């Protein structure tokens, strides 16, 4: 029975600029998506006819509602192959935390099935299928840092050094749909208060590569922070604590709920104890 195990890495957004709402209801974004060593593990076996998805987490849906199921279903349709896949996901990436776990599972299933069937679909085709599942899927198919634009479909790989990353996971989800709606509402009433600066990924990437970290850190912002921090002041406190303890950048990932800090190899105090006292779960990882 052909099978494989593939990692599904979490991601952070190294800066996220959200543009105005488009006519199709989506927003244009500019972001650098950085995959992390922290990963789910996805086992795919080509066994009996049909698609089955099982996970070891109570927080994620099984069957059709799981993004991994949707990825398999779309793969078989696009490739003209009779569906046959048993998918088992060991969840390590916190759910609903802005770390892209569900999208990454979907990307891993697309890559894994394509590999098991000797690549019937091109990378471009996989990205197009992925976009119909979620805006982060095209970027997560690359498994390397990328600049993502448009709705997330225009991805370009960039070089970044390995980054030390602390993830503060507050233990509650933030709904991405809610965050976009809130941002739109705020922008319609208080335009000047929530206009983001331009995120310039080329300059940010160059500064990170050259080790100009203080200057790079000041350019990392996330358009969702004002609305998410207003609703969840503990996340604003988490960001402050990370910066006070020597992180060279700290920001919300996606629409939250995770706040991450990027740390130097030396010269920062481990803020774990302080963060635990404030009730945060803290994970240490690195970028891929």
Residues in the site for ligand ATP, rule: CB under 6 A?
60-61, 66-68, 89, 95-103, 105, 134, 176, 254-255
Work out how close the CB of 258 gets to ligand ATP at its nearest, in angstroms, rounded to a whole number.
8
- Residue 56 or 123: the one with the smaller Cβ distance to ligand ATP is 56
Closest to ligand ATP by CB, 98 vs 261, is 98
In the bound complex, what is the minimum distance in angstroms from residue 140's beta carbon to ligand ATP? 10
CB nearer to ligand ATP: give 15 or 98.
98
Q: Which entry of 91, 136, 207, 239 is annotated as an active-site residue?
A: 136
Which residues neighbour 91 within 8 Å (Cβ) at sequence distance 6 or greater? 40, 55, 56, 57, 59, 60, 101
Burial letters 70-106, b for 16+ CB under 10 A, else e: bbbbbbbebbeeeebbbbbbebbbbebbbbbbbbbbb
Smallest distance from the beta carbon of 100 to ligand ATP, in angstroms?
4
Q: CA nearest 68: which of 8, 14, 23? A: 8
Q: Nearest 5 degrees, angle CA 215-CA 218-CA 223?
A: 150
Nearer residue to ligand ATP within complex by CB, 56 or 230: 56
| SS3 of residue 273 by DSSP | helix
Shortest Å, Cβ 157 to ligand ATP: 21
Rounded to 5 degrees, φ, ψ at 98 are: 75, 15
Q: Is 136 a catalytic residue?
A: yes
By beta carbon distance, the residue nearest ligand ATP is 102
Here the tokens at position 288 are: 């891929």
| Active-site position among 11, 91, 207, 239 | 11
Instruction: Please give the backbone phi and psi of residue 242, each rounded to the nearest 5 degrees, phi first.
Output: -60, -45
> Is 147 or 167 the residue whose CB approaches ligand ATP more closely?
167
Q: Which residues contact 95 (CB under 8 A, 6 or more apart)?
A: 57, 59, 60, 101, 102, 173
| Per-residue tokens: 29 | 């974004």
Shortest Å, Cβ 117 to ligand ATP: 21
So which residues are the catalytic ones? 11, 136
């Amino acid at each position: 029975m052909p099978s494989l195990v593939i990692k599904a890495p979490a991601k952070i957004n190294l800066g996220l600029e959200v543009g105005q709402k488009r006519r199709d209801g989506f927003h244009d974004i500019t972001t650098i998506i950085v995959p992390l060593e922290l990963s789910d593990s996805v086992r795919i076996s080509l066994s009996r006819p049909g698609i089955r998805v099982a996970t070891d987490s109570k927080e994620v849906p099984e069957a059709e509602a799981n993004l991994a199921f949707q990825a398999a279903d779309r793969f078989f349709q696009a490739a003209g192959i009779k569906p046959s896949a048993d998918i088992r996901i060991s969840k390590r990436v916190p759910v609903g935390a802005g770390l892209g776990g569900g999208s990454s599972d979907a990307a891993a299933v697309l890559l894994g099935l394509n590999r098991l069937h000797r690549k019937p679909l091109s990378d471009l085709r996989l990205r197009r299928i992925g976009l119909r599942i979620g805006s982060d899927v095209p970027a997560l198919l690359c498994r390397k840092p990328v600049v993502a634009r448009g709705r997330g479909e225009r991805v370009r790989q960039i070089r970044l050094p390995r980054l030390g990353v602390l993830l503060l996971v507050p233990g509650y989800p933030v709904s991405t749909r809610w965050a976009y709606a809130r941002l739109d509402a705020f922008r319609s009433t208080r335009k000047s208060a929530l206009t983001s600066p331009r995120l310039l990924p080329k300059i940010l990437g160059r500064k990170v590569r050259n080790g100009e970290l203080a200057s790079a850190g000041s350019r990392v912002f996330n358009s969702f922070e004002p609305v998410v921090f207003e609703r969840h002041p503990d996340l604003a406190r988490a960001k402050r604590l990370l910066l006070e303890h020597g992180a060279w950048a700290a920001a919300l990932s996606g629409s939250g709920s995770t706040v991450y800090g990027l740390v130097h190899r030396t010269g920062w105090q481990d803020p774990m104890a302080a963060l635990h006292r404030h009730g945060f779960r803290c994970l240490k990882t690195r970028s891929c």
